[in-house]
Structure 1
Amino acid sequence: MRHLAAFMLSCLAATSSAVAETCPMAPDHSARLDALIVEIQRAPTEAQARQISNQMWEFWADAPNEQSQAILDRGMSKRAAWDLLGALEDFNRLVAYCPDYAEGYNQRAFVNFLRQDFAMALVDLDRALTLSPRHVAAMSGKALSLMALGRTDEASLILDEALELNPWLPERNLAAPGGPLERKGQDI
């Protein structure tokens, strides 16, 4: 009887945790992000562009619920403290819990980039961009990862796409004349 009660309690716990483990859809900030892209394209100074970019980050980092937000925030704090393995564990947990949340993949890609696992970073960046095609930071990260892998032609194309959306990206210097991602064979 005691084993039956324990079995039933474990089944009940598994069922309730499965329900609790369902991640809702991420908030749809696409209209506001599109407006911010227009604003940043018109920004007259780098300082103003940086403020707009910070607003974009607020939307990208708005997780689907409190649980996913806590995992994201914890992972980002660990990454900032260079606890890359701890951050990777958190972002793995976030991606497993919220497989349709682009920022989980983008953050895990950033950790893999810092770990110099550029191929793995690309896998996550591709997924992030599938979920959020105008995620400028993921585009920039993809260009940097491709560049690190020596795939400079692809990196240059992706960076050009990112710069069309945000001409103030810090990585813009990579595409400038003489930069490693300068487009060769094109008149300026």
Structure 2
Amino acid sequence: MKVHRQFLNPIVAALFAVFLLTATAGAEEPLDGMFDKLKSADARAAARLEREIWNEWSKSGSPAMDLLLQRGRDALAAGNPAEAIDHFTALTDHAPEFAEGWNGRAAAYYQAGQFGPSIADIARTLTLNERHFGAMAGLGAMYEELNNPQKALEVYRAALAIHPNLRGVSQSVQRLEAKVAGTDL
């Protein structure tokens, strides 16, 4: 019986890898369409598309990981960043390729006033999901708080290139353009 297991394990692993690649490729197609529509959507349609994108991003493929994500988000909403960090750390430990775990922990670190770890987790989020406009908006806000308006402006513009109707970001860009233009004189 051990002989069969030796041969079956690589076959099962290969089939599982093919399944994962197929599932990932299929999941990306609807997102691509949503992002295409997002660029030309009016504010109402953009808000709907944004919710749909966040819903897709929140699917880890594992009920246990989805539960950790929800517990982390609930702790953040309750104003308990330390508990949120614990949940998101467990999530990133068990699902290191799931961008929302890193993004959630970045938000928790931000809420805890720990900008260094937050920025590091945003970098990881953007490595895994280069279109993560939420992470970009958060990074822009941190750069503003760190009194780096030029860097904040750059990140906000990148977020708007992906999601032109991202709430509050257009106003931030206008405010920072004025501030940066005033500092150049």
Alignment partner of 1:153 out of 146, 150, 154: 150
CA distance in 2, matches of 1:151, 1:83: 28
1:61-99 deviation digits (Å, cap 9, x = unpaired)? 111311101111111111111121111110011011111
Give yes or no for the alignment of 1:180 onto 2:176: yes
Note closer, same or farther for the CA distance 1:58–1:102 as it changes in structure 2 (3 Å cut): same
CA apart distance, 1:182:
4.9
1:15-94 matches, within 5 Å, as 28=24, 29-44=27-42, 46-94=43-91
Give yes or no for the alignment of 1:108 onto 2:105: yes
CA apart distance, 1:30:
2.8
CA apart distance, 1:130:
0.4
Structure 2: unaligned runs, 5 residues or longer? 1-19
CA distance in 2, matches of 1:141, 1:154: 12
Q: Give the alignment's TM-score, normalised by structure 1.
A: 0.78
Would the aligned equivalents of 2:75 and 2:83 in 1 still touch at CA under 8 Å?
A: yes
Alignment partner of 1:168 out of 162, 165, 168: 165
CA apart distance, 1:180:
2.9
CA distance in 2, matches of 1:181, 1:143: 13
Q: Give the alignment's TM-score, normalised by structure 2.
A: 0.79
2:10 paired residue number: none
Asked which structure has the greater RCO (Cα within 8 Å, sep 6+), the reply is 1
**Stretch deviating more after TM superposition (112-121 or 93-102):** 112-121
Note closer, same or farther for the CA distance 1:33–1:181 as it changes in structure 2 (3 Å cut): farther
1:99-118 deviation digits (Å, cap 9, x = unpaired)? 11111000000111112222
CA distance in 2, matches of 1:139, 1:181: 17
Give yes or no for the alignment of 1:131 onto 2:131: no
1:180 counterpart SS class: helix
Report the number of matched residues.
159
What is the percentage of aligned positions where both structures have the same residue? 24
CA distance in 1, matches of 2:99, 2:177: 26
Would the aligned equivalents of 1:118 and 1:148 in 2 still touch at CA under 8 Å?
A: no
**Stretch deviating more after TM superposition (63-72 or 141-150):** 141-150
1:2-56 deviation digits (Å, cap 9, x = unpaired)? xxxxxxxxxxxxxxxxxxxxxxx79633322221121111112x22211110001
Pick the structure with more helix per residue: 2
Note closer, same or farther for the CA distance 1:149–1:51 as it changes in structure 2 (3 Å cut): same
Would the aligned equivalents of 2:150 and 2:180 in 1 still touch at CA under 8 Å?
A: no
The alignment's C-alpha RMSD in Å is 2.0
